[in-house]
Structure 1
Amino acid sequence: MELFELSHKFSKCLLVGDFNARTGSEDDFIFVPDSESHVVDIENIQINAVCNLDQYDFSRKRNSRDKNKNRFGNQLLEFCKGNNFFIMNGRTLGDIDGKFTCRNSSVVDYCLCSAELIQNFTDFKVHDFSSLYSDVHSPIEISLKQTDQEVSTKCSDDTRTNEQKINNWTNEKSYKFLECLNLTEIENINSEIDGTTVVTQETVDMIISKIGKVLINSGKHFWV
C-alpha cells in the first residue's frame, strides 16, 4: 500500500532495496501495439511508457541470472505494470546479465525507476558481496545525472536571516571534531547496545538516529 501511495504522490521516484521478490526476466510493462489496440480495453489498464526505455537506450528485455519467480515477484511485476515503474536490474551496461544480489543464488534486491525519471538514470551495478555491508546481500550502486534545468528559488527575508552557513571540511578540523564528541552520550549508546537482547528494525533505527545526533552536534561547533 505504501508503494502505491508513494508512486501516486511523486512522479520522479526511485525505489531501492530488498523486496524479497524473485521476478525472473518476465516483462514489467504492458505493451499493446497500435495494430492490436482496437481489441484491448485500453481504458481499464495502465499502459507503461515503455517508449521511455527506447528513447534513453535501455533494453525492453531484462536479463537475470535468477530464472525463478515467487509470489512477491508476481506482486512486484504487477506493481510496476500498474504504476509506470521499470526494474533497472539487467537493463544497463553495468549489470548487463542481471547479477545475483543475495547469497550468489537469487535476485531479490532491486532498483525500480519511475518512467519520468528514466531520463536521469545512467547506470546500475551489483558489486561483489562483502560481509562488511550485509550478511547475505551484495551492495548495489545507482548512477543518476542532473538535467540542465534552471531552478528558481524564492526565500523570504526571515528565511535568509535564519539560514546557517555550512563551512567546508578540512583535515585540520578532525582533532577538534573528536574533542567535541559527547563521550557521555556515546557511553550511554554503548550501554544501550550491550543491553539489547531483542534486535528489531525499530531498535536499529533508534540507535542509528542517536549516533547521527552525536556526530551532528559535534560538527556544529565548527561547521557553522
Structure 2
Amino acid sequence: MQPDDPETRLNIVREAIARAARLADRKADTVTLIAVSKTKAAEEIEPLLAAGQRIFGENRVQEAQAKWPALRGAWPDVQLHLVGQLQSNKAEEAVELFDAIHSVDRSSLILALARAMERQGRRPDCFIQVNIGDEEQKGGCAIDALPDLLAEARTAGLPVVGLMAVPPADVEPAPYFALLAKLARDNDLAELSMGMSGDYETAVTLGATHVRVGTALFGAR
C-alpha cells in the first residue's frame, strides 16, 4: 500500500532513483524525475510542488492549458514536459506551453513544430519517440525509420536531445530499454526518456536520463 503523504511518496521515488543510479555507477542527479500529473487536478499537484518537485509531465495540450498557467503563477520555476501524443494542429500551443516535447514521431509534426518555434522564438527540447516494440496501437517511429526522421528533425532546426519509448506492457522491459540506449548512442544522442512507475529503476540502471512517474507519486488514477 502506498503512503498517503505526497512528500513521503516523492522521497521514496527519489531514493529508489538514487539506489538504481548507484548500481549503474551513475550520479542520481543525472536522472530527471518527471512527475506525470495527467488527469490530476491542481489541488492534487500542489502538495508535490510544496514538497519541492518542479518538473511535471502532461499527456494532453488542452488539459495542461486548463491547469498549469495558474500553477506556474505560484511556482514560476516549474518545467512542463509533454509526454503524450501530439497532433500537428496543436504544435503552436505545445511550443508555447511546454519546456520539452517527448513525442516527436513523424514528418508532419516536425514541420509544424519547426514553424511554431520559428514564430514564437521558443525552442523546447525535443525527444524522438521510437515504437520500440513495433506495436500498431502505439505512437513512435519505426526503428528502421529513426535515422531518416532524426536527420529531418535536425535539418528543420528542432533541438533534438534524445529518444523516448514505452516498452510493451506485461513483458520484461530491460531489453527494450537497452535497445533504446543503443539507438541513442548510435545516433549521438545523450538523453533517454524511458521508465514509468512500474519499471523506472530498471530504466535508470540502463541509462535513463528522464523517468516519467505518475502512479508512484500520485496514487492510482
Q: Which has the larger radius of gyration?
A: 1
How would you bin the TM-score normalised by the shorter chain?
under 0.3
TM-score after normalising by structure 1: 0.23
TM-score after normalising by structure 2: 0.23
Structure with the higher fraction of residues in strand conformation:
2
Structure with the higher fraction of residues in helix conformation:
2
